[in-house]
Structure 1
Amino acid sequence: MGSKLISSLFRLILLGFLTFFVFFSDWMKVKFNYPYNEVFDNVYIRIARGCLLILVVVELVRMYYYGIVKNKKAPRLLSNLVTLALPVVLLLVFLEIAFMFVAQSHEGGLTLASHIWFERYWPPMTPEGYRDSEKIDTAGKQKVLVVGDSFTAGHGIKSAEDRYGNVLADKLGKDKYVVYNLGLSGLDTKEEYKRLETFPVKPDILILQYFPNDIEKAARDNGLTLEGFEPYTDLPKPVQTLFVRSYLLNFIYWQLPHGKASSYLSYVRTAYTKPEIINAHLNDLNQIMAYARLHNAKMYLVLFPFSHNLEKTTEYTQPVVDFFQKNNVPVLKVADLVRNIDPDDRIVGRNDAHASALVNRRVGEALFQLVASGGKTKGAGAAPLASSK
């Protein structure tokens, strides 16, 4: 019996080291390298972690059996404590393994569950890193470039076909038009312009998606910053790393609110009302308009709002709307399309305020009508484009 305990202890030490290695590899300056490892959580690595935890549990049960159940000399107090503790440990381990396969989109892609979500739903991707398929048979077709941030990329949308850009593509008809999605999470106006410049395809139609946080870069350049919430700093330091690495604890942590939305709204209001910031931002937007003029492309603006505060979005972004309208760029205000949708149905999930598939559908259909009319409003007498549907 003693030899069996010793052998189990030896195996447990080895398994413990391997388990520590796959969960804390960065402490040893080891990095698992696979495509998009900063965003995707590789399923095979998770399977390996789960298998190691199961093996650890097997050895713990084996030690309990030979050390407590079969050992008549085991102290009663120790036997009772271990008997009570073992089921709790087993439950936590199996919950940890279960949550290794729970996917949930999250606002900033900060969580382990969101990394699982990205791996499961984000592909396919182009060599440039866009969530889009490679385009073939494009000769003689009108080129439509849809550029924007996570709203264009479809953050939180499980199927790329439900994004407004894909809805537009279906409506336009793939026999005459080819739509390129240049959406990338985190892009600001300057980065969107750089992406347009370097993209090899030049547009016949250019659609720029706008969100109120696009002004942040201009705000930072002009000295206005926001001290945001640092994840996990509201936890005691000794347990922070556990909540960073444990799938179970990480999921629980991010179900609770962190940070204050009101402070961000105040920051945005200040940014849009400071002349030096808004003027710099409009100059950045003007570069994109100049790009459209250079390539003789018809341009449209799609303005997404703060999903739970449509009025604030309308108030803050009015200078941007006025700027584009004065330059004859049609503006599609998404806020006007979603007022009759319940606020909870406008978003993809409780931890992710990106536009839902329902909102994307409405935006895609409304954008098609806007493009079909050449940017004219209803009743302007413009002949609509033919739809493939």
Structure 2
Amino acid sequence: MGSKLVSSAVRLLLLGFIAFLFYYGDRLHVGFDYPHKGLFDNVYVRLAKGCILVLIVIELLRCYYYGVVKNPKPPKLLGNIATLIVPIVGLLVTIEIVFMCISQSQEGGLTLASHIWFERYWPPMVGDYRDTPKVDTVGKKNVFVLGDSFTSGHGLKSADERYGNILAEKLGTKEYVTYNLGISGSDTRDEYARLVKFGKKPDVLILQYFPNDIEKVARDHGLVPAGFEPYSDLPRAVQSLFIKSYLLNYLYWQFPHGNFAPFDTYARTAYGTPAIINDHLSDLNKFITYAQENNCRFYVVMFPFSHNIEKTAVYVKPVVDFFQRNNVPILNVGTLMGDIAPNDRVVGRNDGHASALVNQRVGDALFRLMQSNPGTSQMPSANKQLNAN
């Protein structure tokens, strides 16, 4: 019996070391590499973690069985502690494994549940884009839908629910082929760089705009948003547990952290500072010039903060005025959301991206805008109309 207890203890130590490598391997410069790591949580890695945890519980039960149950003279205090702890550990491991299978979209894609969500719902992908390979494109007009997470469909379980896909369906495939060039986290400069780098030229260019697109320009001028640092509101000793554990990570993100007030002040400052806004408008003017040089129709879709449409309108007024001065057709999504309940505007409680209902309205309205305003690449004096004042 003693030898069995010792062998179980040795196996428990070895399994514990393997579990450490799975959860904290980064501290030893050990990790797992797979496609889109950082966005996806690989199902096979989760399966391996679950198996290791199950084996650890089995060895704990073996230790308890040979050390307490089969021991003719078990230490009373140690036996009572083991009787209490072993079932609790088994229960927690079971719950942890269950939460390895739970997905939930989250605003910034920071959570473990959101990484599961991305793996489960984001594909198919073409390179970095959430899109399908295009076939039968000869002789058709190219429609580029360019933007950030609102364009890529963050939080939407089906890519067909995105406003770009809805527009593509209405345009049909006989004359048009629609490319979704949305990547989460993109800003104006990144979007323009990707547009130029893309291997095709558009006949129709749709640029999606969001109020945080000004952040890189503002940072160049020394203005940085006072964002919330995840897990900083937890005691340092337990932070890593909430980062690594699927159960604790999920529970942590069910509660609000940080607040919107700092960004409100930041946005008002960024959009209200002449040097910042003029540099930003200069970046946006590149799209107008690109449309002129490539003789393509150009439209702008402006998404607001869903929880405060009115404040968004105040922030981005210089951008709206700029596009209007340059005769660029604009779709203001805020005007399409007013009659929708706040909870129905977004994809979920932890994700403020536009819901399928909002995307449906945007796709419909964008199609109507394109029909009523065919657009033009000949927008006069674009380079002379940058100043926001």
TM over 0.5: yes
Provide structure 2 residue ranges, at least 5 long, that are not aligned to the other structure: 376-389
CA distance in 2, matches of 1:225, 1:54: 45
Letter in 1 for 2:174: D
Equivalence map 1:224-303=2 (5 Å): 224-303=223-302
SS at match of 1:25: helix
Equivalence map 1:134-283=2 (5 Å): 134-283=133-282
Letter in 1 for 2:22: V
Letter in 2 for 1:114: S
| Structure 1 position 31, deviation (Å) | 2.1
Give the equivalent residue in structure 1 for 2:110: 110
Give the equivalent residue in structure 2 for 1:384: none
CA distance in 2, matches of 1:66, 1:210: 65
1:307 is aligned to 2:295 = no
Letter in 1 for 2:330: V
Give the equivalent residue in structure 1 for 2:368: 369
Select between 91-100 and 161-170 the one with higher mean Cα deviation. Answer: 91-100
| Structure 1 position 284, deviation (Å) | 0.5
| Structure 1 position 217, deviation (Å) | 1.3
| Structure 1 position 77, deviation (Å) | 2.3
| Structure 1 position 375, deviation (Å) | 4.9
Equivalence map 1:84-103=2 (5 Å): 84-103=84-103
CA distance in 2, matches of 1:187, 1:3: 60
Contact 1:41 1:115 in 2 (8 A): yes
CA distance in 2, matches of 1:346, 1:72: 65
Give the equivalent residue in structure 2 for 1:381: none
| Structure 1 position 324, deviation (Å) | 0.7
Contact 2:111 2:249 in 1 (8 A): yes
Q: Percent identity?
A: 62
CA distance in 2, matches of 1:15, 1:334: 53
| Structure 1 position 38, deviation (Å) | 1.6
Contact 2:226 2:262 in 1 (8 A): no
Letter in 1 for 2:363: G
Q: Could you report, residue by residue, the CA deviation over 1:353-384 in whole angstroms, capped at 9, with x for unpaired residues?
A: 000111111100111111122258xxxxxxxx
Contact 1:212 1:317 in 2 (8 A): yes
SS at match of 1:368: helix
Letter in 2 for 1:334: V
Q: Could you report, residue by residue, the CA deviation over 1:61-103 in whole angstroms, capped at 9, with x for unpaired residues?
A: 1111121112131122222221112221111111111111111
1:13 is aligned to 2:13 = yes
Give the equivalent residue in structure 1 for 2:120: 120
Contact 1:148 1:208 in 2 (8 A): yes
Give the equivalent residue in structure 2 for 1:380: none
Contact 2:303 2:334 in 1 (8 A): yes
SS at match of 1:71: coil
Contact 2:100 2:246 in 1 (8 A): yes
CA distance in 2, matches of 1:375, 1:351: 38
| Structure 1 position 275, deviation (Å) | 0.9
Equivalence map 1:74-85=2 (5 Å): 74-85=74-85
Aligned-residue Cα RMSD (Å) equals: 1.1
Contact 1:330 1:375 in 2 (8 A): no
Contact 2:226 2:263 in 1 (8 A): no
Structure 1 segments (4+ residues) deviating >6 Å: none
Provide structure 1 residue ranges, at least 5 long, that are not aligned to the other structure: 377-389
Give the equivalent residue in structure 2 for 1:54: 54
